[in-house]
Structure 1
Amino acid sequence: MVSSQHEAMHHLFRQDPGVFARTIRDLGLPFPDPIDVALLPTDLTEIDPLERRVDTLLRIETAEGAFLLLVEAQGHEDKKKPSSWAYYLAHLHAKYRLHPVLLVVCQDTSTATWARGPLAIGPPQWTSLIVHPLVFGPDNVPVVTNLDAAVKDIPLATLSAITHAADDSVIGDIMNTLATALHSIDNPDDRVIFTELTALGLGKGPAGQTWRQLMAVDTSFFRSEYWQEVRAEGRVEGRVEGRAEGRAEALLQLLALRGIAVSDEMRARIASCADRDQLADWFERALRADSIDDLFA
């Protein structure tokens, strides 16, 4: 079954294929900048009834010639994958007569290390094939916490959030930076796209829950489907116009999700606050706080 993380990864690369070029440039890899990018069919099934489908397939034109980019999201080590990846690469090379590059995107370092391989196919006495994917993971995708950098490259900031979702030491800062950077997008529809791509990629874990709460208190994202879902599930009370009580409830929800103990006195202080700017400041602190004292420091 295709997970939401898979969906987010390939939609992100379809939304802005240039994120590949910018990321490999940061990594110092020897790929030329794309001149043109075309989305190709992802169905690789032949006469054999076994369905074979990649997440995303792009044809990238450069000054040095064209190549194919296959994008796969991988959540865990899977012994069946090397043979599937070898099939994809061989089939596409034969079909398009272009050299293919397999890009695997991971959210944890152990999976990324395994995926890099090289992955050998053949008996111990003789290796017949070697699959050597290019891997983006938390160990090489940059941690985007600089606001100027995030504003200049929203897709890369989104990829940073998705790949570092499991790293509690940085994900709060990444999400807060990305949430602020999204205000720089003039088109509200584009803001919603990257908001929801981030939510999909983060999944239903603690980072995903925090992202939804962060978006729920931002009035410019109330038209998002994720806001509607959060509101329908009763996670945030109050009017969508951003009334203070709605923000206070969102803050309390965030503190609960982060496991920060809140006394009855502190809960009453938050719930009775009518200053939306103060609540916004507390919410930002709550993303990094280790205790309730950090919130009011």
Structure 2
Amino acid sequence: MGAKFGADLPPLVLGPAVVPEITDPAEAEKETELAVLSAVAHGNGPNGLTVVRAALVALGRLDQEHALVYFQLIWNGLREPMRQALEALVMERQIEGEATFPPFVQKLIDRGKLKGMREGELKGKRDTLLRLLARAGIVLTENESARIQAYTDTATLDRWIDNVLGATTATEVLS
């Protein structure tokens, strides 16, 4: 009997130790497939979020069909804590209006979660403002209270919270 073809070839084993951690989005864009492999190998490690983020930026230059396949590979390799961290990061960027991820990634994140997170942030700021006003002894009219409850701009709510210090009237706070 003759020798089998390839019987002397040892198997090639690829593990995280031999895959570079690609954390720079520019480098990831040059080597997209290596960036995806890096995200799968290192996505749950200490620099996991940075590695995954770089890979996702690189996926933005691919057509949506290929990008979705690569994203699914990365997502499947992530453990639950890292998946939650990635979801939170994408939602945070959407709330802040920063489009740092390909649109398909943003669409995969549940819109209900995004809306709930934004509403929770606004409610917390409104509640803080109302508590600070009460502690400062500043009484609100019904219109002023309704204005605070209806406001949806976080930067303005933050400014109003800062204005409470040293204010004696609601007009000084809500200016």
Give the TM-score, by structure 2 length. 0.52
Tell me how far apart the structure 1 counterparts of residues 77 and 49 of structure 2 sit (CA, whole Å). Answer: 15
Give the equivalent residue in structure 2 for 1:192. 68
Q: Does 1:210 align with 2:69?
A: no
Alpha-carbon displacement from aligned partner over 1:11-53 (angstroms, at most 9, x marks no partner): xxxxxxxxxxxxxxxxxxxxxxxxxxxxxxxxxxxxxxxxxxx
Alpha-carbon displacement from aligned partner over 1:52-104 (angstroms, at most 9, x marks no partner): xxxxxxxxxxxxxxxxxxxxxxxxxxxxxxxxxxxxxxxxx94xx1244434x
Q: Does 1:164 align with 2:42?
A: yes
CA distance change for structure 1 residues 149 and 166 in 2, over 3 Å: closer, same or farther? same
* CA positional deviation for 1:198: 0.7
CA distance change for structure 1 residues 172 and 219 in 2, over 3 Å: closer, same or farther? closer
Higher-helix-fraction structure: 2
Give the equivalent residue in structure 2 for 1:155. 33
Q: Assess if the C-alpha contact under 8 Å between 1:199 and 1:212 holds in 2.
A: no
- 1:221 pairs, out of 104, 109, 132, with 104
CA distance change for structure 1 residues 141 and 219 in 2, over 3 Å: closer, same or farther? closer
Tell me how far apart the structure 1 counterparts of residues 53 and 42 of structure 2 sit (CA, whole Å). Answer: 13
Tell me how far apart the structure 1 counterparts of residues 10 and 110 of structure 2 sit (CA, whole Å). Answer: 42
Tell me how far apart the structure 2 counterparts of residues 184 and 136 of structure 1 sit (CA, whole Å). Answer: 27
For structure 2, the residue ranges without an aligned partner over 5 or more in a row are 95-100, 130-151, 156-175
Tell me how far apart the structure 1 counterparts of residues 39 and 71 of structure 2 sit (CA, whole Å). Answer: 11
What is the root-mean-square deviation in Å for CA atoms of aligned residues?
A: 3.7
Give the equivalent residue in structure 2 for 1:173. 50
CA distance change for structure 1 residues 249 and 174 in 2, over 3 Å: closer, same or farther? farther
* CA positional deviation for 1:206: 1.4
Tell me how far apart the structure 2 counterparts of residues 98 and 191 of structure 1 sit (CA, whole Å). Answer: 35
* CA positional deviation for 1:199: 0.4
Supply the AA of the counterpart residue of 1:181: A
Tell me how far apart the structure 1 counterparts of residues 105 and 43 of structure 2 sit (CA, whole Å). Answer: 23
TM alignment of 1:1-297, pairs within 5 A: 94=4, 97-99=5-7, 100-103=9-12, 134-137=13-16, 139-168=17-46, 170-185=47-62, 187-203=63-79, 205-215=80-90, 217=94, 218=101, 220-221=103-104, 227=108, 230-231=109-110, 236-238=113-115, 248=118, 264-265=124-125, 272-273=153-154
Tell me how far apart the structure 1 counterparts of residues 20 and 39 of structure 2 sit (CA, whole Å). Answer: 10
Task: Give the 3-state SS of the residue equivalent to 2:60 in structure 1.
Answer: helix
The aligned length equals 120
Give the TM-score, by structure 1 length. 0.33
Which has the larger Rg?
Answer: 2
Tell me how far apart the structure 2 counterparts of residues 222 and 267 of structure 1 sit (CA, whole Å). Answer: 32
Q: Assess if the C-alpha contact under 8 Å between 1:179 and 1:215 holds in 2.
A: no
Percentage identity across aligned positions?
A: 20
For structure 1, the residue ranges without an aligned partner over 5 or more in a row are 1-92, 104-133, 239-244, 253-263, 275-297
Alpha-carbon displacement from aligned partner over 1:255-283 (angstroms, at most 9, x marks no partner): xxxxxxxxx449979x7438xxxxxxxxx
Tell me how far apart the structure 2 counterparts of residues 267 and 171 of structure 1 sit (CA, whole Å). Answer: 35
Tell me how far apart the structure 1 counterparts of residues 45 and 24 of structure 2 sit (CA, whole Å). Answer: 17
